[in-house]
Chains A and B, each alone.
Chain A
């Protein structure tokens, strides 16, 4: 399983790529592996407000529905509509093609409690 070092992570199994005031959000390799075949995804509209620790969307495997929790608060600037038509990309390329939303954050303090790759890996080891 792969956890790129240049990303930040949450205990709700999202990853975050920080570029200035814009962060890109997706789900981790561990999350997609636990879910199994992803067959449906629901994402917010561009311009929507998202709140840290609150659901911003849904992914569904064949068997189950799971909420997506926002790692930051802010406003959605871009949505990856391509994965709505090809949700299997979430299994195939969770850190690349299957990014989910881009969010503009008000302040970098939003990022303070995010985990590093090492911390996240340690967390999922303990969770198993």
Chain B
């Protein structure tokens, strides 16, 4: 167990590689209750929600979720989040634990400044535990417990229902692993019972508890961003390669900066690196081309699926061409790496 944002978090159970492979081939069970939940409700809630996010909430219907960035005026990212739309007047933002208070304060500031007096912003993080069940067999593990066939919940949709006949929950077809799976939000008092029930119903399907370590290697193989690595207050979504979640057809904080960046280019770009020489790239390691510094590693690990060192890195845009070779400086040694498209892992 390690401390993280005020929580005691399991890094691993049976081992990062074992858990990682279980999620890729069968099914893993994650306790991600540390995630923050902020509800926005009231008349004109949709206008406020639409104003604070870079993506377009008008593109989804009730019962759907959407990935979006929240940006500062200078284009830097406050957080990345998934928004759940219950109806036109009620939304749930699932935010990173370490950013939860910052996002809440930021929302209140935007509300005051832009005059949305009828909107209520509530931090419900203490009212929700979150259990994620992820992997090709996740659907089979969940099926005996849920009041509907989980196959009927489409990708990035959610269902408000009952688990094991009595546990009320939000069940969404979402995840952070690149595998099929579900994220379940419920009363923390019910979480131990659901954990136990999923462990039992998933047993014939090879379910295994998985920790933060595997969560990180799984997301990195997919090239999914993690705040503090690929995203930060001084990194914009355009620099992080997340332009498809930014809609210039509407207003949002930072629009001017991001529009300019997408028109004129940025001073850094996020790329994938796959090691050609031995070694494991890590956050902060320097990236070079011909002995000159061109950037820095954002996230790095040994990929359990590919069995090679992989990394995301911010580099000068002229070096982002896939197929080119750069060097990662590992303890003073320049180790060769290839620039590759994301995701690293493809089925």
What is the CA–CA distance of A62 and B309 in the complex, to the nearest angstrom? Answer: 10
A1 to B16, CA, bound (A): 20
A22 to B162, CA, bound (A): 67
* Nearest chain B CB to A42 CB, angstrom units: 8
Cross-chain contact B280 with A60 (CB below 8 angstroms): yes
Chain B residues 1-47 with CB under 8 Å of chain A are: 11-12, 15-18
Asked whether, in the complex, the Cβ of A63 is within 8 Å of the Cβ of B280, the reply is no
Q: How far, in Å, is A1 (CB) from chain B's closest CB?
A: 16
Residues of A within 8 A of B278 (CB): 40
Report B187-234 residues with CB < 8 Å from chain A CB. Answer: 213, 216-217
The answer to whether A62 touches B279, judged by C-beta atoms less than 8 angstroms apart, is no
Residues A36 and B12 in contact, CB atoms below 8 Å apart: yes
Say yes or no: B302 contacts A39, CB within 8 Å. yes
B288 at the interface (CB under 8 A from A): no
**Residue in A closest to B333 when the chains form the complex, CB atoms:** A42
Nearest residue (CB) in B for A62 is B16
List which B272-308 residues lie within 8 A (CB) of chain A: 278-280, 282, 301-302, 304
Cβ 8 A contact of A60, one of B12, B18, B217, B302: B302
Once the chains bind, are A36 and B282 in contact (CB under 8 Å)? no
Q: Choose from A36, A42, A60 the contact partner of B15 (Cβ within 8 Å).
A: A36
Residues of B within 8 A of A39 (CB): 17, 280, 302
Chain A: minimal CB distance from B279 (Å): 7
Q: How many A-B residue pairs have CB under 8 A?
A: 36
A37 at the interface (CB under 8 A from B): yes
Is A58 interfacial (CB 8 A cutoff)?
A: yes
CA distance A65 to B278 in the complex (A): 14
User: Is B263 engaged at the interface, CB distance under 8 Å to the other chain?
Assistant: no
B331 → chain A closest CB, angstroms = 7
When C-beta atoms are compared, the residue in chain A nearest to B214 turns out to be A62
A60–B304 Cα distance when bound, in Å, is 13
CB distance from A37 to the nearest CB of B (A): 5
Chain A residue numbers with a CB within 8 Å of B279 are 40
The interface bits of chain B over 253-281 (1 if a CB of A lies within 8 angstroms of the residue's CB, else 0) are: 00000000000000000000000001110
The residues of B that contact A62 with a CB separation of less than 8 Å are 16-17, 213, 217, 301-302, 304
For A88, the closest partner residue in chain B by CB is: B17
Which residues of A have CB within 8 Å of B282?
65
Q: For the complex, what is the distance from the CA of A60 to the CA of B282, rounded to whole Å? A: 11
The answer to whether A37 touches B17 (Cβ under 8 A) is: yes
CB proximity to B under 8 Å, residues A54-77:
58, 60-63, 65
What is the minimal beta-carbon distance from B329 to any residue of chain A, in angstroms? Answer: 14
With A58-B331, A62-B213, A63-B213 known as contacts, the answer to whether A36 contacts B16 (CB < 8 A) is yes
Q: List 18 A-B contacts (CB under 8 A).
A: A36-B11, A36-B16, A36-B213, A39-B280, A39-B302, A40-B278, A40-B280, A42-B331, A58-B331, A61-B16, A62-B217, A62-B301, A62-B302, A62-B304, A63-B216, A63-B301, A65-B280, A65-B282
Q: Which 7 A-B pairs have the closest CB atoms?
A: A39-B302, A62-B16, A37-B17, A37-B15, A40-B280, A60-B280, A63-B213
15 new A-B pairs (CB below 8 Å) besides A36-B15, A37-B18, A63-B11? A36-B16, A37-B15, A37-B17, A39-B17, A40-B279, A40-B280, A40-B302, A42-B331, A60-B280, A61-B16, A62-B217, A62-B302, A62-B304, A63-B16, A65-B282
- B interface residues, Cβ below 8 angstroms from A: 11-12, 15-18, 213, 216-217, 278-280, 282, 301-302, 304, 309, 331
